[in-house]
Structure 1
């Protein structure tokens, strides 16, 4: 069987592309790499972190975004448990609601309850 080498990117549907782009760049610190334009209108963006370890795409699709509200399809790796606490402090400083840090299944730290503008939960994990 041929090998897989990792996840290329994750694509999330969003109801308002500008609002979501602003949230992912200001809250998670991602940068826009590519804009996807159809008929002269930007319909999606590709985002990444400064180390190019996270590749995320946002696609304007309000109906699908609504169905994912409250679900947690994305868990981002954080290098250390202390870094999870640093994220908690950053989110608190930004006034971003979350449910705090809990112990994960492997004994690590997990920041839960962080929601993007469409209510999609983003978790931050360190084993």
Structure 2
């Protein structure tokens, strides 16, 4: 029997403390637009899903879960992709324009990286597909290739 394969990422779900604040922030930063909402039995909507330019079919979902949001502070579960260093620098300028604190442009393990936090302290990465060609494997915390 053949091993089944994945066909992509359907959605990422981000825990939040304030749904309206997060939807507004992700809308301003990434162009997020809500396409679905998930009302509870009490009629209160505590989750939404939607799209953002550049993500193709992959959706972003937000779910009110204060305990999970607190537990994720400072963690980076997702890296959004950009093409190259020029795109990273354009994002850095955009974040500066929005007044969002960010890292400098980082020469990461294989590409360029920009790091910043969402309103709940979840750390987000913008990482380039283009590679810089610098061997960072000797640096603590940086990746190195694994032989198979």
Q: TM-score range, shorter-chain basis?
A: over 0.9
Deviations 1:50-87 (A, max 9, x none): 34424211000001100001111110011222111100
Q: Which has the higher strand share?
A: 1
Gaps of 5+ in 1: none
Cα distance between partner residues in 1 of 2:47 and 2:33:
13
Which of these residues, 72, 75, 94, is aligned with residue 71 of structure 1? 75
State the partner residue of 2:4.
2
Tell me which residue corresponds to 2:39.
Answer: 37
Question: Over aligned residue pairs, what C-alpha RMSD do you find?
Answer: 1.2
Could you tell me which residue of structure 1 aligns to residue 132 of structure 2?
Answer: none
Distance 1:75 1:13 in 2: 16
Specify the alignment match of 2:51 in structure 1: 48
Q: In the alignment, which residue of structure 1 is the partner of 2:23? A: 21
Higher Cα radius of gyration: 2
Q: Which has the higher contact order (CA 8 A, sep 6+)?
A: 1
The reply to whether residue 103 of structure 1 matches residue 107 of structure 2 is yes
1:87 aligned residue = 91
Please give the TM-score of this superposition, normalised by the length of structure 2.
Answer: 0.80
Q: Is the 8 A contact 1:110 1:123 kept in 2?
A: yes
Aligned equivalents of 1:65 and 1:79: distance in 2? 29
TM-score by length of 1: 0.92
5+ residue gaps in structure 2?
A: 130-148
Tell me which residue corresponds to 1:122. Answer: 124
Aligned residue pairs, count:
125
